[in-house]
């Protein structure tokens, strides 16, 4: 059984359309970030969040009214399935308060407000209090981790393949990170620690498909030295199209299960992965190879000359396996 | 060939056996994180400046003493920051420098008009900060053990001055937090005057100028409020304490003369000698027992006291907590809470249930797809996924790696991402089959040609996972470790296990041309 029998789509012809489409999505995401601000969760901004479980059904409005008088802007949401009667209350970082004693004050006041409002009895299932120092530290480390990961993967691909491929792969990965962020904006997800973990995972995963295509491009370049690079790339994309879709598909299925059944706490993570996997497949087919071609053409003027693996193949024989055994 | 195959199958059987043995029964062998088991996760910051300030203050007092005794004139000597102090109005520079030579081992000196300013040497300050955090860590460990928490974690965390404390299954979070944080610095100081009903009244009695060697401290806080500065008793006490925090040998529950709860403490040998001569010299004067900057009680020194004392006028709860904190020793510096995450056990239970459901659903979806798309060969992939998961669970139990909620996500991702390697290999075999060189050649070519692709894809995923490990806090690290183990064992299952299964099938047929793929 095959999804694509002898697929022969002209992906390269559509590369500019694809790039424009991606830019539009990313620009919309960035515009939203500028207007609304980056929706960082309390892991990064500091603040408090409470999950309380009521003994009887309560409407969210009643909970909202109960905590309305507290300083700052509270967020009140259903947590998990309504039958669990869990409500999430998020309180902003209290400004001008000293750390330490103030850390738990916001949450204690919120609990008192709930008791005073005559709501059914409740117990606190989860309490997260994050001070601004921790948040700022995590922000820095999160950005550092994503950037280092991108750089390390670029270097690895640069060593294993060649520079233009590495740039293509990394632009595609960066594209996935930005598109994922844009969709987090569209669907109003907060950027929590878990979401950043998912984004980092995406940086490692989305480059996988790209590696598969590039491996095939390299293999094909050896047998078709006279064809222009763009044609070789297009053939390679088509030859590997089936496995690109299937590998993304299996990952998508498992993440979908996580999204549907994994519970409230992992929803942001699962959503990020869902978007990232789809974007990763799209960018592999349309963006990565397009960038690799554009760069190769600009660099050498003559695509063939730069396209052939040339001297680097023999150069690396020593520490690499025989070329024949290297492509999928 | 047959022998080789038997050897491979044996190895796989051993690996599966060991893995299963390692994690069965999972309820006992797989460690659960706080987010699944319930408990509290705390991050504290040690205010290391406190310790530096003590060092600087002590140096200043010692220098003042030395200079006065040696008759070296100066107008002022004072600490200007936790790491700096200044000496002003010196007349005899040479005499000063012989007397003050000691300070230069710890401080860098620079000249000023008529005096000197000192700043603590950076390496000394760093070492002192580091020692302070280590000491705080050890003290917290002792306190947590006294609390009787099972499997607590106390460790350095993030930045230099942070400490992580994880207490599984603790229900009274507030008490645990107070006990961990209280400095438990016990001091015995002479009282100049007091009590006064308010801070203002106390200052008035001294015409708003306290003697240079005295300071104003509040009495016991009223009610059960923590941290407040309200008090109806204020004392003017000497700055110097007859004993220091680490002079305490033991503390235990006790009763005072009216059968009310009290804490009895005893001093170490050398402190007892010092305290003996101190009390002897001050018979008839009032002495305050001060705990964490609050005057707990004041008593007149009746005679020479050597090694024991009592804190009275406290509630039963206060007594229990003070025994724990005093026994475990004083903290070298005060601390702040930077982060607190508490998970109730019922939420943890629900998370485990959701995680198991999602894992089974994810596995079912992927298995169905593989069986549908690759027919019999799909079974090969299914076996390799299942073996992958068994090894993952086995290693997690054996290392051991704590299973966290994001770790569950890593587990599920291992299902979806792990099968990618099988897909790459199967697709290549399909392609090779089309060239009609026979099934055996197709299988061999499929595995050989895909090997380096699999290496490349795994390395890039590992790079991201390693950075995740470096970035993350507890739960995220659980995710990263799960992912890393899953990726590594996937290389074994997707290549070694899967290939062995192909060869098993092929070995039964002589001239295989087709595969159910």
Please report the pLDDT score of residue A325 as a whole number. Answer: 41
Range with lowest mean pLDDT among A49-58, A142-151, B248-257, B383-392: B248-257
Please report the pLDDT score of residue A319 as a whole number. Answer: 38
Please report the pLDDT score of residue A301 as a whole number. Answer: 43
- Asked whether residue A142 is assigned to any structural domain, the reply reads yes
Q: Does A73 touch chain B (CB under 8 A)?
A: no
Question: Is B290 in contact with B241 (CB distance < 8 Å)?
Answer: yes
Query: Is residue A161 domain-shared with residue A309, that is, in the same domain?
Result: yes
The domain tally of chain A equals: 2
**pLDDT band of B228, cuts 50, 70, 90:** very low
Query: Is residue A120 domain-shared with residue A165, that is, in the same domain?
Result: no
Please report the pLDDT score of residue A45 as a whole number. Answer: 86
Question: Is B331 in contact with B47 (CB distance < 8 Å)?
Answer: no
Q: How many CB atoms lie within 10 A of CB B138?
A: 14
pLDDT beyond 90 at A32: yes
Q: Does A253 touch chain B (CB under 8 A)?
A: yes
pLDDT beyond 50 at B424: yes
| Domain of A71, in residue numbers | 47-130
Q: Does A265 touch chain B (CB under 8 A)?
A: yes
Q: Which residue has the higher pLDDT, B187 or B226?
A: B187
- Asked whether residue A4 is assigned to any structural domain, the reply reads no
Report the pLDDT averaged over residues B68-73. 87
Query: Is residue A194 domain-shared with residue A240, that is, in the same domain?
Result: yes
Return mean pLDDT, chain A: 83
pLDDT beyond 80 at B2: no
B291, containing H or E segment:
strand B286-291
A280: distance to nearest CA of chain B, Å? Answer: 13
Report the pLDDT averaged over residues A213-241. 87
Please report the pLDDT score of residue A96 as a whole number. Answer: 52
Q: Does B157 touch chain A (CB under 8 A)?
A: no
DSSP string, B457-501: HHHHHHHHHHHHHHH--HHHHHHHHHHHHHHHHHHIIIIIIHHHH
- Asked whether residue A126 is assigned to any structural domain, the reply reads yes
pLDDT beyond 50 at A311: no
Report the pLDDT averaged over residues A221-228. 83
Q: How far apart are CA B40 and CA B152, in angstroms?
A: 10
Q: How many CB atoms lie within 10 A of CB B347?
A: 27
| A125·B343 Cβ contact <8 A | yes
Q: How far apart are CA A23 and CA A41, in angstroms?
A: 26
Interhelix angle for A289-300 vs A163-186, to 10°? Answer: 140
* Domain end among A106, A130, A154: A130
- Asked whether residue A2 is assigned to any structural domain, the reply reads no
**pLDDT band of B488, cuts 50, 70, 90:** very high
Q: Where are the beta strands (DSSP E) in B312-379?
A: 335-343
SS3 string of B7-38?
HHHHHHHHHHHHHHHHHCCHHHHCCECHHHHC
Q: Which domains does chain B have, with CATH numbers?
A: 2-37+344-507 (1.20.1640.10), 49-124 (3.30.1360), 185-325 (3.30.1360.200)
- Which of A103, A160, A269 lies at the smallest CB-CB distance from B337? A103
pLDDT beyond 90 at B306: no
Burial class (CB in 10 A: 0-12, 13-18, 19+), B110: exposed
Q: Which residue of B has its CA nearest to A261?
A: B358
Q: How far apart are CA A86 and CA A69, in angstroms?
A: 21
pLDDT beyond 70 at A258: yes
A22: distance to nearest CA of chain B, Å? Answer: 24
Return mean pLDDT, chain B: 86
Query: Is residue A147 domain-shared with residue A102, that is, in the same domain?
Result: no
Range with lowest mean pLDDT among A189-193, B2-6, B227-231, B463-467: B227-231
Query: Is residue A98 domain-shared with residue A195, that is, in the same domain?
Result: no
How many pairs of residues across A and B have Cβ atoms under 8 Å apart? 247
Query: Is residue A153 domain-shared with residue A247, that is, in the same domain?
Result: yes
pLDDT above 90 covers a percentage of chain B that reads 32
Please report the pLDDT score of residue A2 as a whole number. Answer: 67
Query: Is residue A52 domain-shared with residue A100, that is, in the same domain?
Result: yes
| A208·B350 Cβ contact <8 A | no
Question: Is B489 in contact with A214 (CB distance < 8 Å)?
Answer: no
- Asked whether residue A5 is assigned to any structural domain, the reply reads no
- Asked whether residue A220 is assigned to any structural domain, the reply reads yes
Q: How many CB atoms lie within 10 A of CB B65?
A: 10
pLDDT above 70 covers a percentage of chain A that reads 87
- Asked whether residue A30 is assigned to any structural domain, the reply reads yes
CA A194 vs. chain centroid, Å, equals 11
The DSSP 8-state label assigned to residue B151 in this structure reads S
Please report the pLDDT score of residue B474 as a whole number. Answer: 72
* Domain end among A109, A130, A151: A130
Report the pLDDT averaged over residues B52-59. 86
Question: Is B351 in contact with A262 (CB distance < 8 Å)?
Answer: no
Phi, psi of B114 (to 5 degrees): 70, 20
Report the pLDDT averaged over residues B60-89. 88
Please report the pLDDT score of residue A308 as a whole number. Answer: 40
Q: Which residue has the higher pLDDT, A290 or B500?
A: B500
Interhelix angle for B474-491 vs B439-471, to 10°? Answer: 160
pLDDT beyond 90 at A199: yes
Please report the pLDDT score of residue A247 as a whole number. Answer: 94
Angle at A326 between CA A321 and CA A328, to 5 degrees: 160
- Which of B350, B415, B453 lies at the smallest CB-CB distance from A84? B350
Please report the pLDDT score of residue B230 as a whole number. Answer: 58
pLDDT beyond 70 at A320: no
pLDDT beyond 90 at B246: no
Q: How many CB atoms lie within 10 A of CB B220?
A: 15
Q: Which residue has the higher pLDDT, A300 or B170?
A: B170
pLDDT beyond 50 at A321: no
Query: Is residue A22 domain-shared with residue A57, that is, in the same domain?
Result: no
CATH number of the domain that residue A33 is part of: 1.20.1640.10
**pLDDT band of B222, cuts 50, 70, 90:** low
- Which of B370, B416, B449 lies at the smallest CB-CB distance from A327? B449
Please report the pLDDT score of residue A306 as a whole number. Answer: 41
Query: Is residue A33 domain-shared with residue A93, that is, in the same domain?
Result: no
Encode pLDDT of B351-370 as tens digits. 999 999 999 999 999 999 99
pLDDT beyond 50 at A303: no
pLDDT beyond 50 at A242: yes
- Residue B114, classed as helix, strand or coil, is coil
pLDDT beyond 80 at B431: yes
Tokens of A180: 């994922």
Query: Is residue A198 domain-shared with residue A295, that is, in the same domain?
Result: yes
Query: Is residue A165 domain-shared with residue A265, that is, in the same domain?
Result: yes
* Domain end among A75, A100, A130: A130
**pLDDT band of A41, cuts 50, 70, 90:** confident
- Asked whether residue A268 is assigned to any structural domain, the reply reads yes
Query: Is residue A218 domain-shared with residue A308, that is, in the same domain?
Result: yes
B460: distance to nearest CA of chain A, Å? Answer: 5
CATH number of the domain that residue A72 is part of: 3.30.70.100
């Amino acid at each position: 059984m095959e999804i694509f029998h002898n697929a022969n789509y002209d992906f390269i012809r559509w590369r500019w359309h694809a790039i424009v489409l991606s830019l539009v999505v990313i620009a919309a995401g960035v515009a939203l970030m500028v207007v609304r601000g980056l929706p960082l969760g309390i892991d990064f901004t500091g603040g408090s969040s409470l999950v309380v479980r009521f003994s009887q059904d309560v409407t969210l409005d009643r909970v909202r009214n109960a905590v309305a008088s507290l300083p700052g802007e509270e967020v009140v949401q259903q947590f998990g399935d309504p039958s669990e009667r869990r409500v999430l209350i998020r309180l902003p970082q209290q400004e001008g308060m000293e750390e330490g004693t103030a850390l738990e004050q916001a949450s204690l006041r919120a609990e008192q407000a709930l008791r005073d409002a005559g709501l059914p009895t409740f117990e606190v299932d989860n309490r997260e209090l994050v001070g601004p120092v921790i948040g700022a530290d995590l922000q820095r480390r999160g950005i550092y981790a994503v950037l280092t990961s991108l750089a390390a993967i670029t270097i690895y691909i640069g060593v294993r393949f060649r520079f233009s491929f590495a740039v293509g792969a990394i632009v595609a990965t960066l594209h996935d990170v930005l598109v994922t962020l844009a969709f987090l904006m569209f669907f109003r997800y907060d950027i929590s620690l878990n979401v950043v973990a998912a984004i980092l995972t995406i940086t490692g995963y989305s480059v996988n498909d790209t590696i598969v295509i590039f491996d095939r491009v390299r293999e094909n370049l050896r047998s078709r030295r006279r064809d222009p690079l763009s044609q070789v790339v297009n053939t390679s994309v088509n030859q590997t199209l089936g496995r690109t879709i299937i590998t993304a598909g299996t990952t998508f299925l498992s993440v979908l299960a996580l999204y549907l059944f994994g519970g409230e706490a992992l929803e942001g993570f699962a959503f990020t992965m869902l978007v990232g996997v789809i974007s990763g497949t799209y960018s592999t087919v349309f963006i990565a190879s397009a960038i690799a071609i554009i760069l190769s053409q600009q660099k050498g003027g003559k695509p063939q000359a730069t396209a052939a693996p040339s001297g680097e193949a023999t150069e690396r024989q020593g520490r690499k396996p025989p070329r024949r055994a290297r492509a999928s | 060939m047959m022998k080789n195959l038997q050897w491979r199958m044996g190895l796989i059987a051993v690996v599966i056996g060991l893995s299963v043995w390692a994690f069965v029964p999972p309820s006992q062998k797989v460690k659960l994180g706080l987010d699944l088991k319930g408990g509290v996760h705390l991050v504290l910051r040690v205010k290391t400046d406190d310790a530096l300030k003590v060092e600087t203050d002590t140096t200043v007092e010692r220098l003042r003493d030395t200079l006065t005794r040696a008759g070296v004139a100066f107008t002022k000597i004072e600490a200007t920051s936790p790491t700096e102090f200044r000496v002003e109005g010196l007349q005899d520079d040479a005499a000063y420098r012989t007397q003050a030579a000691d300070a230069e081992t710890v401080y860098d000196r620079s000249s000023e008009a008529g005096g000197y300013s000192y700043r603590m040497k950076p390496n000394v300050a760093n070492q002192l900060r580091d020692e302070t955090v280590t000491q705080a860590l050890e003290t917290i460990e002792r306190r947590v053990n006294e609390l009787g928490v099972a499997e607590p974690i106390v460790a350095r965390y993030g930045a230099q001055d942070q400490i992580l404390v994880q207490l599984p299954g603790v229900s009274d979070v507030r008490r645990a937090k107070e006990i961990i944080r209280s400095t438990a610095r016990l001091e015995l100081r002479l009282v100049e005057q007091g009590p006064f009903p308010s801070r203002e009244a106390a200052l008035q009695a001294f015409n708003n100028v306290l003697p240079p060697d005295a300071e104003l401290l509040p009495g016991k806080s009223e009610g059960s409020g923590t941290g407040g500065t309200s008090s109806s008793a204020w004392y003017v006490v000497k700055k110097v304490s007859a004993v220091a925090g680490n002079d305490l040998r033991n503390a235990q529950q006790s009763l005072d003369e009216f059968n009310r709860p009290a804490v009895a403490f005893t001093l170490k040998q050398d402190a007892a000698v010092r305290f003996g001569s101190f009390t002897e010299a001050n018979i008839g004067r009032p002495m305050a027992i001060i705990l964490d900057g609050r005057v707990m009680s004041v008593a007149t020194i009746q005679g020479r006291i050597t090694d024991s004392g009592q804190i009275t006028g406290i509630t039963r709860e206060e007594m229990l907590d003070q025994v724990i904190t005093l026994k475990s020793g004083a903290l070298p510096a005060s601390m702040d809470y930077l982060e607190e995450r508490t998970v109730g056990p019922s939420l943890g239970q629900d998370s485990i249930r959701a995680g198991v459901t999602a894992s089974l659903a994810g596995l079912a979806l992927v298995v169905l797809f593989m069986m549908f798309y690759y027919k019999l060969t799909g079974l090969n992939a299914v076996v390799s996924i299942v073996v992958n998961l068994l090894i993952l669970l086995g290693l997690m139990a054996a290392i051991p790696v704590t299973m966290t909620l994001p770790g569950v996500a890593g587990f599920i991702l291992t299902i979806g991402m792990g099968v990618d390697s099988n897909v790459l290999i199967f697709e290549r075999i399909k392609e090779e089959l089309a060239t009609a060189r026979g099934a055996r050649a197709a299988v061999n070519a499929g595995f050989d040609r895909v090997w380096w692709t699999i290496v490349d894809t795994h390395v890039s995923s590992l790079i991201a996972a390693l950075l995740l490990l470096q970035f993350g806090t507890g739960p995220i690290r659980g995710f990263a470790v799960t992912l890393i183990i899953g990726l590594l064992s996937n290389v074994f299952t997707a290549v070694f296990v899967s290939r062995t299964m192909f060869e098993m099938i092929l070995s039964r047929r002589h001239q295989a041309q087709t595969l159910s793929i």
